Amino acid sequence: MPAERLQKIIAAAGIASRRKAEELITAGRVLVNGQPATELGTKADAEIDHIRVDGKLLHAPERFSYYVLNKPKGYVTTVSDPEHRPTVMDLVKGIKGRVYPVGRLDWASEGLLLLTNDGALANGLMKAASHVAKTYVVKVAGQPDEGKLDKLRKGISIAEKGGRRVRTAPAQIKLIKEGDNPWLEVIIIEGRNRQVRKMFEEVGHHVEKIRRVQYGPLSLDVPPGEFRSLTLEEVAKLKAAASGSKRPGSKPFKPLKNSDGSAGTAPAGPLGTRARKAK
């Protein structure tokens, strides 16, 4: 953080107004690295310098960070793991500051994972009422017929931890690659534990592979194991999605398939120059 005038730092910390902070400085009640700072033009760096007002140490205002990670298979989505398995935090050790994952992708799942220290945004995105769409590409064992897919599109009862059963919200599902074990695109607006896997198990099909390729306005655009910072525009779009706000060009989620059976494919973004390899 660049050096700023002391009165601005004190005001930003919520200690006093900027005018009152000037009075504190000229009265000799502010110390910078143990030395009185009585000149109003004095500058400091809140992240590096020790600033005390009436003996109380000021803490730099928290700066929010936002990253998108392409999680590979074989990592758990936690900050730490009591079983000492690799976690997604092992992939982002090079970043400055502490962040944590928003929502979860299970050990065998891959794809887009958001990490941030912005608690308000994280809570907003994970609220069921926000209806933020999440897009997955899924490979299943066997060929589910249209009757089974329609059940999933309309919502289906799945078991949660403890045995309680809940009904999923309507989903968009379409075939994207035929085969004995086809690939499908699945768009849901919830984030229940292992939801997509459980949905297909309920209609008799095991999920062999699953990758999240879009989370709200974010598309997966970095290689497996790599991450990048979000742009200011992406952060603004995420905040709008979390609050339920509509932005120009945004499209509402349509739970049932279109008349032609399509559901709209998540755009695939090019690999950006901001991508960083996780160490």
Which residue pairs, CB below 8 angstroms and at least 24 apart, start in 73-81? 73/107, 73/108, 73/109, 73/110, 74/107, 74/108, 75/107, 76/106, 76/107, 77/101, 77/103, 77/104, 77/105, 77/106, 77/113
Supply 51's token pair: 């600033």
What b-and-e string marks burial along 144-169, b requiring 16 or more CB atoms within 10 Å of the CB?
Answer: beeebbebbbebbebeeeeeeeeebb
Q: Which amino acid is at 104?
A: R
Residue 195 contacts residue 152 (beta carbons within 8 Å): no
What b-and-e string marks burial along 85-123, b requiring 16 or more CB atoms within 10 Å of the CB?
Answer: eebbbebbeebeeebebbebbeeebbbbbbbbebeebbe
Q: Which amino acid is at 201?
A: E
Residue 195 contacts residue 234 (beta carbons within 8 Å): no
Catalytic residue among 49, 90, 106, 150, which? 106
**106 in catalytic set:** yes
In eight-state DSSP terms, residue 76 is B
Q: Catalytic amino acids?
A: 106
